[in-house]
Amino acid sequence: MSKERTKNLVDLFSSRLTTLGHILEISEQHFHEESESILDFRLIEDMLPFGTQIAYTCNQPYNFSLWCKNQESDNLSPKIESLTVAKNLIERTKSQLKDSELRDSKLSELKRINLDGNQYLELKGKDYIQEFLIPNFYFHLVSAYNIMRMKGVPLGKVNYMAHVAPLVKVA
């Protein structure tokens, strides 16, 4: 059962990271010569920029992989210096996931998540995945998508839902 669970999570993270890479690629093409500036685009001033949304999207599967290996969380730098760095980060994160193996015992152990200041969460492993990693992963992925949509990049639901394209059937 554990190998199946791991495969499902790795497939979920990997396919959505591919989506993030696709969003980045379309955005880069849309802005041509000014494409490096897209890393600083924001939905509104007090939200994190596109580059940071990419890093934070990658943080979730990256830290999942570390957790599976009994290593401490190590958040990626929120400052993405270039589109090349962003693309490499997405690919490195996908590659790191391939080695992940979620043991059943991890699902019941407590996972401590340090937050800002003196705050932290302690969640059982299954809740760490379902209540922390996956919601944060989608939040930052959707934020990256929304930033580019707001800036006029020709993205639609078909781009965001590309992972289901192979399942589409014709009547």
Of all residues in the chain, what percent carry a pLDDT higher than 70?
99
- The per-residue pLDDT for range 55-71, each reduced to its tens digit, is 999 999 999 999 999 99
| pLDDT value at 17 more than 80 | yes
Over residues 45-58, mean pLDDT: 97
Domain residue ranges of the chain, discontinuous segments joined by +: 2-167
Q: DSSP alpha helices (H): ranges in the chain?
A: 2-31, 50-68, 83-97, 125-127, 134-150, 157-160
* 90 close to 141: Cβ distance less than 8 angstroms: no
Instruction: Name residue 110's amino acid.
Output: L
**pTM of the entire structure?**
0.94
What confidence category does residue 1 fall into, taking pLDDT thresholds of 50, 70 and 90? Answer: very low
| pLDDT value at 23 more than 80 | yes
For residue 130, what are its two tokens? 């379902």
- The per-residue pLDDT for range 83-140, each reduced to its tens digit, is 999 999 999 999 999 989 999 999 999 999 998 899 999 999 999 999 999 999 999 9
What confidence category does residue 151 fall into, taking pLDDT thresholds of 50, 70 and 90? Answer: very high
For the chain, the average pLDDT equals 94
Q: What are the contacts of 36-39 at 24+ separation with CB within 8 A?
A: 36/82, 36/83, 38/83, 38/148, 38/151, 39/80, 39/82, 39/83, 39/86
CATH superfamily of 2-167: dinb family like domain (1.20.120.450)
